[in-house]
Amino acid sequence: MSLHNIAVIGAGTMGNGIAQVCATSGLPVTLLDISDAALERGMATIRKNLERQVNKQVITEDEAASALHRIHCTTDYASLNDADWVIEAATENLELKLRLLKQIAEHVSADCVIASNTSSLSITQLAASVANPERFIGLHFFNPVPMMGLIEVIRGLQTSDLTHFQALEMAARLNKTAITAGNRPGFVVNRILVPMINEAILVFQEGLASAQDIDDGMRLGCNQPIGPLALADLIGLDTLLAIMQAFHEGFNDSKYRPAPLLKEMVAAGYLGRKTGRGFHTYN
Ligand code: NAD
């Protein structure tokens, strides 16, 4: 598989992490966003993360400098014309992604693989917006990208075996383990994780145990690195509610109904770490 230029669309939380991992894996990257300010913010995060890796002796100073040199920033879609791969990691909004993907497909060659990092949108629906949808696939990275070892590879209805194979090769090239998932809301990991967190909220709401005891129970009894309520605070209760609502609607199954307390906490503005208060409190 030729990998001369990987275009990453969006320099936000996920896009800058994906660009960093591609660059530290030796791949030239074109990082595209809508403004120079967004690109500068993304590059500042990459520089800070690489510096941390140097301090921890994960990579050398030379390797960090080479990785930075491999990343070319742009706001111009014409720069995508020689991309072998595009990994779209722009804002999670269906209309925006459909428009953006159409624009990408107009600039890249017919055999360029186009992947989306979407967490919740249908890969089949996104694929339908590009010419040659058989080269379209979901590549779902986890946050923070440089730290997390997993990529979920999601086949849309149109995705070819060749594109699937290329996605598995790409994951291996980035030193990540790939699992393949079908195109359903939440794919595999969030489909299991988010209802588990919702159940923990129901247990708390019923007054079965305190938040601390629920978290300690799942940490020490199930070897989870962080308890489900602390994880809810980390992810953001608004994000969790949006995911549960998407499952509820997408599967039309009452087993995915969001916990009433989750809805109430979101309405109160208790969103977890980002607002200083969720199931736990934060300074
Ligand atoms: P973010 O808000 O941090 O970054 C989005 C970036 O997209 C911003 O820099 C924004 O300027 C840019 N953007 C918006 N419109 C654009 C356009 N037309 N062209 C180019 N860039 C544009 O969002 P994020 O958290 O990085 O999420 C990005 C994608 O990754 C979403 O699809 C999300 O579902 C998915 N995802 C997020 C996480 C997570 O934990 N945050 C995990 C896995 C997947």
Confidence label for 2 from pLDDT (cuts 50, 70 and 90): confident
| Same domain, yes or no: 147 and 221 | no
Q: Nearest to residue 108, comparing CAs of 134, 79, 87?
A: 79
| Same domain, yes or no: 177 and 198 | no
Atom of ligand 1 nearest to the CA of 32: 20
Query: For this structure, is 164 an active site residue?
Result: no
Percent of the chain topping pLDDT 90: 96
Q: Does residue 140 form part of some domain? A: yes
| Same domain, yes or no: 90 and 154 | yes
| Same domain, yes or no: 68 and 173 | yes
The whole-number pLDDT of residue 120 equals: 86
Q: Does residue 256 form part of some domain? A: yes
For residue range 211-251, what is the model confidence (pLDDT) as tens digits? 999 999 999 999 999 999 999 999 999 989 999 999 999 99
| Same domain, yes or no: 160 and 219 | no
For residue range 161-214, what is the model confidence (pLDDT) as tens digits? 999 999 999 999 999 999 999 999 999 999 999 999 999 999 999 999 999 999
Mutation probe of ligand 1 site: the residue of 16, 33, 240 with most atoms within 8 A of C-beta? 33
| Same domain, yes or no: 131 and 258 | no
| Same domain, yes or no: 85 and 213 | no
| Same domain, yes or no: 116 and 249 | no
The average confidence (pLDDT) of the chain is 96
Q: Nearest to residue 81, comparing CAs of 98, 103, 97, 99?
A: 103
| Same domain, yes or no: 174 and 137 | yes
Q: How far is the CA of 210 from the centre of ligand 1 (A)?
A: 35
| Same domain, yes or no: 27 and 62 | yes
The whole-number pLDDT of residue 269 equals: 98
Q: How far is the CA of 105 from the centre of ligand 1 (A)?
A: 19
Query: 111 exposed, middle or buried (CB, 10 Å; 0-12, 13-18, 19+)?
Result: exposed
Confidence label for 271 from pLDDT (cuts 50, 70 and 90): very high
Query: For this structure, is 119 an active site residue?
Result: yes
Across 256-283, average pLDDT: 97
Q: Give the domain range for residue 31.
A: 6-181
Query: 206 exposed, middle or buried (CB, 10 Å; 0-12, 13-18, 19+)?
Result: exposed
pTM confidence score: 0.92
List the catalytic residue out of 16, 88, 122, 140. 140
Q: Does residue 199 form part of some domain? A: yes
- What's the number of domains the chain is made of? 2
pLDDT at 1 over 90: no
pLDDT at 264 over 90: yes
Atom of ligand 1 nearest to the CA of 90: 7
| Same domain, yes or no: 201 and 89 | no
Query: For this structure, is 35 an active site residue?
Result: no
pLDDT at 62 over 90: yes
Atom of ligand 1 nearest to the CA of 143: 40
List the catalytic residue out of 119, 129, 183, 198. 119
